[in-house]
């Protein structure tokens, strides 16, 4: 995670090492699609935990979706799992929202849930 103090406010987001190749999936011989669906859900949860900004969260979500698409997963697979993620956490409206206050409420509920 990248963490900093921005004028007295905690700011954090997912951090990627610049030397690591982007858009790659964890790979082990014999992994089925279900393993990557679990990875995707876990990566979305990590994004909620790390990203204090709704813009950073949406950017991370886009990066994760592109990673699956680039690695041969269908748009239907990606969309189904994104929809399931937001439905599971009762945050359907956040799926298309750029509202920082709605995102802050979602994160607060998430951390209370955990």
In the chain, what is the greatest distance between 2 CA atoms, to the nearest angstrom? 48
Mark out the alpha helices in the chain (DSSP H runs). Answer: 33-50, 54-70, 75-88, 100-113
Q: What's the pLDDT tens digit per position in 75-89?
A: 999 999 999 999 998
Q: What is the pLDDT of residue 28?
A: 54
Query: Does the pLDDT value for residue 106 go beyond 70?
Result: yes
Report d(CA 93, CA 22) in Å as an integer: 29
% the chain with pLDDT above 90: 49
Q: What is the pLDDT of residue 5?
A: 82
Query: Does the pLDDT value for residue 57 go beyond 60?
Result: yes
């Amino acid at each position: 995670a990248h963490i900093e103090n921005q004028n007295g406010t905690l700011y954090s987001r997912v951090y990627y090492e610049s030397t690591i190749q982007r858009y790659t999936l964890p790979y082990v011989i014999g992994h089925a699609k279900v393993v990557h669906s679990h990875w995707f859900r876990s990566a979305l949860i990590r994004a909620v935990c790390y990203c204090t900004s709704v813009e950073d969260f949406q950017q991370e979500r886009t990066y994760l979706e592109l990673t699956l698409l680039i690695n041969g997963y269908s748009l239907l697979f990606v969309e189904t799992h994104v929809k399931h993620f937001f439905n599971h956490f009762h945050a359907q409206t956040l799926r298309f929202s750029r509202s920082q206050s709605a995102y802050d409420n979602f994160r607060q509920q998430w951390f209370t849930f955990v």
